[in-house]
Structure 1
Amino acid sequence: MGKTIVLNLSDVKLQGNIIDIGESFGVIYNITKEVMDEISVDYVYGNENNNLMKEEYNICTMFFCLSRFWNASSRLKLIEEVSKYIKSGGELFIWDINKEMKDMVNNKIIAILPSGNFKEFEFKNLNPIIKSNIEENEKLLEKYYKIEETKLWEDIHFIRARKI
């Protein structure tokens, strides 16, 4: 196992209809249930989006999802597809790893939730061909979104963007 990274999500507030892309290790669900009494989170992994309504969602989350794709064109395709389901003015939240080609990632991540509770999980990306970083992800978003906030923690980046 690599290093342990603490990801402070204590100030994250997600409200409205939420679509969660990929496997979020229970983090997005826990953030949402702590903020809202009644939650509506739809989870999408792979091509299982048959029942989604276009422009239905206020927020889309991608938690360590984009770095699983081999190349930028695959990431862009996912962003284009997801954008169909986000309302105009809706937000996209991305948390992901910064990884250069030839690097292999096997880290323990401890997410601090708004309640002060912790969610711990292991994140692996052992594919030496994949490269993922904040600059590339921002560039992929520029056609559909206005970047409103970015953060870097050690090997992790965060992007909050609003759909144009």
Structure 2
Amino acid sequence: MGKTIVLNLSDVKLKGNILDVGESFGVIYNISKEIMEEISVDYVNGDNNDILKEGEYDTCTMFFCLSRMWNSSIRLKLIEEVSKYIKAGGELFIWDINKEVRDMINNKIVAVLPSGNLKEFEFKNLNPIIKSNMEENEKLLEKYYKIEETKLWEDIHFIRGRKI
């Protein structure tokens, strides 16, 4: 296994109906349940997007999702698809790894939740062809979102955008 990366999510505040895209390792659910008394989190992967309603979600999260996709055109298609379900003015939160071609990622991630609890998981991306980074992801978002915040922790980036 590679290195251990601590991801501080203690100040994350997700609001309203949440659309969680991809596998979030239980992190998004735990953040949501700590913040809201009644949570509404819908999880989507390619198999169940028929349950979604356009313009219904206040917030969308993508947790280590984009860096698993082969190229930027596939990432853009996902962003376009997801954007249909987010209300105007809604927020998109992206946490992902910076990965260059030939990099092999096998890291332990320790997420510090708003409660102070820790959620640990292993993140692997052993595909040497995939390249993903914060700058590329920001460019993919610019047609649909105003970037309001970016952060970088070691190899992990965060982007928060508001739907235009």
> When the two structures are superposed, what TM-score results if normalisation uses the length of structure 1?
0.99
Secondary structure at 2:122 match in 1: strand
In 2, Cα distance between equivalents of 1:57 and 1:44: 12
Counterpart residue type for residue 51 of structure 1: I
Q: Which residue of 1 aligns with 2:62?
A: 62
Shift of 1:45: 1.3
The residue correspondences of 1:119-138 to structure 2 (distance < 5 A) are 119-138=119-138
Q: Aligned pair count?
A: 164
Shift of 1:41: 0.2
In 2, Cα distance between equivalents of 1:107 and 1:138: 24
The residue correspondences of 1:102-141 to structure 2 (distance < 5 A) are 102-141=102-141
The residue correspondences of 1:21-100 to structure 2 (distance < 5 A) are 21-100=21-100
Counterpart residue type for residue 74 of structure 2: S
Shift of 1:52: 0.5
In 2, Cα distance between equivalents of 1:59 and 1:28: 11
In 2, Cα distance between equivalents of 1:39 and 1:134: 29
Q: Which residue of 2 aligns with 1:147?
A: 147
Secondary structure at 2:146 match in 1: strand
Secondary structure at 2:51 match in 1: coil
In 1, Cα distance between equivalents of 2:51 and 2:158: 28
Divergent runs of 4+, >4 A: none
In 2, Cα distance between equivalents of 1:118 and 1:46: 29
- C-alpha offsets along residues 6-35 of structure 1, whole Å, 9 cap, x if unaligned? 000000011100000000000000000000
Shift of 1:46: 1.9
The answer to whether 1:157 aligns with 2:157 is: yes
- C-alpha offsets along residues 59-111 of structure 1, whole Å, 9 cap, x if unaligned? 00000000010000000000000000000000000000000000000000000
> When the two structures are superposed, what TM-score results if normalisation uses the length of structure 2?
0.99
Shift of 1:47: 3.6
The runs of 5 or more residues in structure 2 that have no matched partner are none
The share of aligned pairs that are identical, in percent, is: 83
- C-alpha offsets along residues 37-59 of structure 1, whole Å, 9 cap, x if unaligned? 00000000124200110000000
Secondary structure at 1:123 match in 2: strand
Q: Which residue of 2 aligns with 1:10?
A: 10
The runs of 5 or more residues in structure 1 that have no matched partner are none
Secondary structure at 2:108 match in 1: strand
In 2, Cα distance between equivalents of 1:47 and 1:146: 29
